[in-house]
Amino acid sequence: MKHTDAETRAVNDAAQAGHRGDWAHTPERSNMLALRLMCLVALVCGRHLTRLLLPPISLYFLLFAPVPRRHIKRYLFRAIGPHAGWIDGYRLLHAFASTVLDRVYFLRGRMNLFDVNVKGNPALEAEALGGRGAFLLGAHVGSFEAMGACKQKSEHKQELRLAMLMYPDNAQRITAILNAISLPELRPHVIALGRPHSMLALRDWLDSGGLGGMLADRTLPGSEDQPAQQRGNTIVLPFLGQPASFNDGPFRLAALLRRKVFFMAGLYGGGARYDVQFDLLADFSERSIDPAERERRIQAAVEAYVARLEALCRAYPYNWFNFHDFWLEDSV
């Protein structure tokens, strides 16, 4: 589906308008005491009893969070059609609440509570076992923590080491709580982006066979003093029938470090079921001497990422938890 020049200009203009569509400047809608209480209840009462709290919590946010509700409505209209209604919004919020709760148990190593099906991991394991490492690009789809199941599902019984590439200042209160409840050996390793030595730390991690994972469905905040490969460029592509902005920074970084890029998703299937999927998106292991060819390959990789994300949103519409102004419609 092609988008018109007018649509592209509208998205680009909106991206320049203030911070209303900038997720990095949006304060967390959370209460520290409530989060600590929820974590305590989850650990003391167990998963089955704590899940009884999810329906009223989901209904509360559906009724009393008008801004996220507006964005959810727009997304569901595009993912499943104009017949999407309040029940669909509730189902999405309940799925989100379920993955947040399950995050507690994943970080405590309680994999026995879940039925996790892993697909596509042999090719990923080959990169790790070969000491090359790889990039894992996901989205705000399902559960990132479900990726831990790959350690138990590895055909070679090889522990896959995953580093989270992220801006640590965002949602730091939630991160602090999760760090406090996770077992030391399961605590996610974080490589902070936007720092002077970020790329060197990432290169060393990959060279040791580690994997670098990040969520790439939000345009990245950046400043002119950051390296170009970390800032990247904003690319406008059709997504769920409407032009949307994506950042090619992760793919430029993969091309610079000459690594393969896999799409990752830990899809919540309801109850205790998760489907973890890995798909090869791009192979930058061979250096491209021609700059034009390199740009073409990066563009193709971004398009493949967006196509994969769109397919998942249509197949699993209640798994995309991007509750902000993704299409920048509030800014125009």
**pLDDT one-digit tens code per residue, 316-331:** 999 999 898 999 888 6
pLDDT for 3: 46
Q: Are strands 211-215 and 134-138 parallel, antiparallel or unpaired?
A: parallel
What is the helix, strand, coil percentage profile of the chain, to 5?
50, 20, 30
213-236 core/surface letters (b: 16 or more CB in 10 A; e: else): bbbbbbbbbbeeebeebbbbeebb
**pLDDT one-digit tens code per residue, 218-273:** 765 544 444 444 557 899 999 999 999 999 999 999 999 999 999 999 999 999 99
152-177 core/surface letters (b: 16 or more CB in 10 A; e: else): ebbeeeeebebbbbbbeeeeeeebeb
Q: Which residues contact 89 (CB under 8 A, 6 or more apart)?
A: 62, 69, 72, 73, 76
Q: Are strands 273-283 and 115-119 parallel, antiparallel or unpaired?
A: parallel
pTM: predicted TM-score of the whole model, two decimal places = 0.85
Rounded average pLDDT over 145-172: 68
**pLDDT one-digit tens code per residue, 296-306:** 999 999 999 99
Per-domain boundaries in the chain: 5-319
Q: Which residues contact 97 (CB under 8 A, 6 or more apart)?
A: 54, 57, 58
Q: Are 277 and 264 in contact (CB under 8 A)?
A: yes
Q: How many residues does the chain have?
A: 332
Rounded average pLDDT over 11-18: 38
Distance between CA atoms of residues 324 and 67, nearest Å:
8
